Every structure is written in structure tokens, then in C-alpha cells.
Structure 1
Amino acid sequence: MWHLLEPLHALLYYAPEAFEEAAALGYDTGERWPSYFAWRAAPLGAAGPLRVASAFYSFSPATVARYVPAAWATADPADVLAARLRAVDRAYRALLGEDAVAGPDPGLAEAAALAR
């Protein structure tokens, strides 16, 4: 499953659109980690480094502690989430074209409703 979904997920961390949105929020995009931790941790709200390190699992707690407090000093998690959605939307439109993402497929909407 990871091999199927990781490319969809990882787009956020490498797409030029993501770096543009991160820069617009005030993150230093010359280095990977300031925006990476913000993108990934934003769904947790303004979580502290210990909670984020626990959720991320594979990162050194010292590395998380270096970047997470600064992430929330730069932008509010709600603003990061909105920028994240814009970045992903723009990136997929650029990669797949407008027709692929123009509107919800009725079958997809039904599948989502059934999954709930």
C-alpha cells in the first residue's frame, strides 16, 4: 500500500507549488525542514515538539524540537492547512491537467459517503 500512496502524499514536500506557498507564509524555503514540519504537523494544531515527535515516529526529538516551535511562530496551523490544500491543488492541476481535477466525480462522492 505504501508504494501506491506515498507518491501522492510526498508530492506536498517536493512540488514547487508547495515551496511557493510556504514562502508566502514566511517559511525559509532554502532549507527543507521548516516548511516540512509545518506541513506535516499542522493537522495536529499547534502541537508541541513532544507530541509531534511521537506522531512522526522516525524523527529525532531534538530535530523536531528545533523546528516545530518555530513553525507555529511563523504561521498558524490553520493557515498552514489552507496553504497546504492550495499547494496540493495547484500541483495536481499542473501535473494532471484541469480535466483530471475539475470537479468531483459522482462515483467518488458516493464512495466517500459509503466510507463514512
Structure 2
Amino acid sequence: MSSVARRMFELVEPIGVIPYSTDDPNEAMFALGFTDYWDTYFAGRAAPLGIVPAEVVDALFYNFAPGEVARHIPKVWRTTTPEAAIAARRSGCAAALRRILGDHVDSPGFARTTDLLTRAATSAPVEGRPMYAALLALPLPDDVVTRFFHAASLLREHRGDGHIAALMVEGIGGLEAHVLLALDLGLPAERFGRIHHLPATQIAAVVDGMRERGLIADDRTLGDLGRAVKRRVEAHTDELAAKPYECLTPDELDELMAALEPIAARLVAAQD
């Protein structure tokens, strides 16, 4: 099932990143009174947790530099409520999907795809999956397009919880995970989008620590040990992400993947 989980990740991720790849969700969040993108990110993603301290969000999100989360949590809840943030995020993402997918979202085929995706997304155990559990506790949306996005978000957070577990097993911290990914893609760590804004000295300290552990070679490229760790993390993440799809028959899985392929392609092509 790990190969199924990897393929479903490729197909679901373009839906799950709608809050970050299109303008509609940001505009819906800005309408609540926000003026900063990262405020909308933390409010939108952390809202299912309710009002919790920055330390909790930092632990669950895992991969932000020290102090980054605290610049937004709990400040964002002086602008809006978790309930309003959830509603705005959902409406903005549904608007983006309707704009990109057009009349397809009104078809029986889309309704069937949403039903299969939702069945998988709501079928997994919640033990050890705090972000997935928080999102699963929300009522399912009645609107089919909103439910489609919600199902993809559930699967994304379920996989994310497992990915953090896989990183922790390998002793890879949040910033180190970004460095691993950057170097695996052939990019210098200091140019990688998720951490390039950090002070150069901070990035250098992370890289130097990884080099001392043998993960990075002296030329600041990914060493053999680093590549092996990256492969193990990805393989373990796929294994841990497989559970939601066990509730579907092989024919249903084939049907779901075939239906998602053109949707994912259109979403990738339309990214702002």
C-alpha cells in the first residue's frame, strides 16, 4: 500500500495546497482583517486546534524556526476566531476550486470522486495524529466542493503527522528537514524557499551540525548518509500514510486515482 500512498500524495497534494497556491483563500482571510500572509497561514491551519499556546502549534507544525510561530500565535486570535478562520479558509478554497475546475464540480463524476476521497480521508485511526484528529473533529461540509477540499486537507494532515514521526525516528529536526529537501533537489540550503529568509548564521549552524553528523559532505552537498536518511524518511512516510486507503477496494482506488489525475493536472497548471 505504500506505493498507493505515494501516488495518492501526488494526486491529493495539488488540492491540499490550494490555500497556498491560489489567491482566493488569502482574499477570504484578508476580508477578516488580516494584512499579513503568514497571519492567514497560521490562523487558517491552526484554527482546528482552537486557541492554544504558540508552543503547541510550534510542536505540531514542527518545521518553523524558533520564535516564528510566536510572532503569529496567539496574536491572530485578536483579529478573528478559529471558527471564522475555518469558514473563510473553506469558502476561499471552494471558490478557487470552482474557478479552476469550472462546470466539472457540478457533475455526478465529481460527486462520486468526493465521496470516495471523503471515505478514505475519514477512515484512519487518530492515535498519534494530532493535526489529523483536530481536522477530523470538524463537521463535514455539506457543499460538495468544500467537502472535496476538506477531504484532501484531512489526507494531507494525516500524512504530515506521519512524516513528522518519520523525521523524529531519524533524528531530523524541522529546519534540518528543509535542508535535506533543498540539497536533495540540488539547491543550496540558503536559497531554499522555506528557510531562505532566516539569518545566514542560523542556516550555517544547521548545515554545520548536519555535516558533523555525516549527513552533509564537506562541499555542502548531500552525503551518502544524508541520502539514505532521506530515502528512509520518505519510505516510512509512505508506509504510515497508507491506512486511509485500506477502506477502498482495488477497483475503487483505481477509479479514484483515474478521476483525480486530470483534476490534479489542472490545479498544478493553474497555480498562481
State the Cα deviation string for residues 42-98 of structure 1 (Å, max 9, x = none).
11111210110011010124000011111111110000000111011000001100x
Question: What TM-score, normalized by structure 2, do the two folds share?
Answer: 0.38
Is 2:46 the counterpart of 1:32?
Answer: no
CA 1:105 to 1:76, structure 2 compared with 1: closer, same or farther past 3 Å?
same
State the Cα deviation string for residues 6-62 of structure 1 (Å, max 9, x = none).
22111112311112111110011xx42111111111111112101100110101240
Aligned residues: 113
Is 2:111 the counterpart of 1:105?
Answer: yes
Matched residue type, 1:16: D
Residue 29 of structure 2 corresponds to 22
User: RMSD value over aligned CA atoms?
Assistant: 2.2
Residue 6 of structure 1 corresponds to 13
Matched position secondary structure for 1:25: coil
Gaps of 5+ in 1: none
Aligned 8 A contact 1:38 1:80 in 2: yes
Structure possessing the higher radius of gyration over alpha carbons: 2
Aligned 8 A contact 1:49 1:61 in 2: no
The equivalent position to 1:84 in structure 2, one of 78, 85, 89, is 89
Matched residue type, 2:96: A
Aligned 8 A contact 1:27 1:74 in 2: yes
Separation in 1, partners of 2:55, 2:119: 35
Gaps of 5+ in 2: 1-5, 124-272
CA 1:106 to 1:90, structure 2 compared with 1: closer, same or farther past 3 Å?
same
The structure that is helix-richer by fraction is 1
Matched position secondary structure for 1:58: coil
Of all paired residues, the percent bearing the same amino acid is 35
Separation in 1, partners of 2:88, 2:105: 18
